[in-house]
Amino acid sequence: DPFIRFIIGGGFFIEVKKRGDDKIYIPQGQLGIIHATDVVKFLEGNQSRIFTREIETVYTASYFQLETERLHVEVWDSEGFYLNRFMSYNSIPLADIVDGPMQHTVQCFPYIDNFQPGKLNATVNLKVNLAEIWDFYLEFMDWKTTSLLNKEKRDMEISSYFDITMNSPQTIRPSVQSSIQKNTVLPYWAKVDGGILFRGTYHELKAQELVITLQNKGIIGSTTIGQKIIQLREVIDVQFAKTDMVIHRTDDSGPILNDDDLDKPAQTCIIQGTVSVGSFPKFRQIGEDELVGMRERYLCVKINEANVFG
């Protein structure tokens, strides 16, 4: 009945000292972050099973610690009413995870008294997403639209501005607003003051959406010219956004008086501009976007040898 215990980071080690013919084992340092999987019942030798638990945690460390510490993988046997029995162990450097692939295979061995590995006991296949939590600062420059002229009301004065909002609990500063371009149907903004501040991992940022709302500033208040939602996944790497937007849409809920109105195309404009993300994390895992997006995280262990006592 195996389960796996993970120890993330830490500087724990066993110091071995001799006192005469005896060996004294002295624990030194501190353990890292400890998590354990669920227990797989009745797993026999040469069988493999999938653990159902997903482990999420925050590991706080410097780049130096990240390059020197390891992920420790321990395979234990759940004994029910008795003490759990340690079976095998191995570790991999955290630097190989954060700057390498997400999928890893760890071969675990029992260790005898002289700390030498014994015969292969278990093979653990796992996907590890180790990504830096970063403060991303999104700035918006060189934004413009095509004509905003209202073809139904050509005498309408257009004094436009736009809001860009990221609706996420991870945003520290969720929105920006441009200046007002007075009396022009071809507005241009060289730079939008301020920016959107988002705290999270790179793939969490790419999963977000930007809501662009184009407004017309009137004497009393503002009216909405149009609104569009764009996916940051399509913008973040090229740092440029371009999309069409339906504008001057009327909310007429009455009956359709003319059948020709059914085929009447909506009036649209194109809005585009630069989305500058600034600095990026130092490390990025290979294949991170594809595997995280698929949400097919799994943890599987294969027992190579098992002793069963009747």
| Amino acid identity for residue 177 in this structure | Q
What is the C-alpha separation between 94 and 285, in angstroms, rounded? 12
Task: Say what the pLDDT of residue 299 is.
Answer: 60
Q: Spelled out in words, what is the top-level CATH class assigned to the domain 2-131+285-303?
A: mainly beta
CATH topology of domain 134-276: Immunoglobulin-like (2.60.40)
Would you list the domain boundaries of the chain?
2-131+285-303, 134-276
Fold match between domain 2-131+285-303 and domain 134-276: yes
Amino acid at 238: V
pLDDT at residue number 284: 77
What is the chain's pLDDT, residue by residue, as a tens digit (310 residues)? 889 999 999 888 777 787 877 878 788 888 899 999 988 888 887 788 888 888 888 888 888 888 889 999 999 998 877 788 888 989 999 988 888 888 899 999 987 666 667 788 889 998 888 888 899 999 999 999 999 999 888 888 999 999 999 999 999 999 999 999 999 999 999 999 999 999 998 888 988 999 999 999 988 889 999 999 999 988 988 999 999 999 988 765 455 555 555 556 778 999 999 999 988 888 877 765 555 555 545 566 565 655 544 4
What is the reported pLDDT for 255? 55
pLDDT at site 253:
47
pLDDT of residue 296: 47
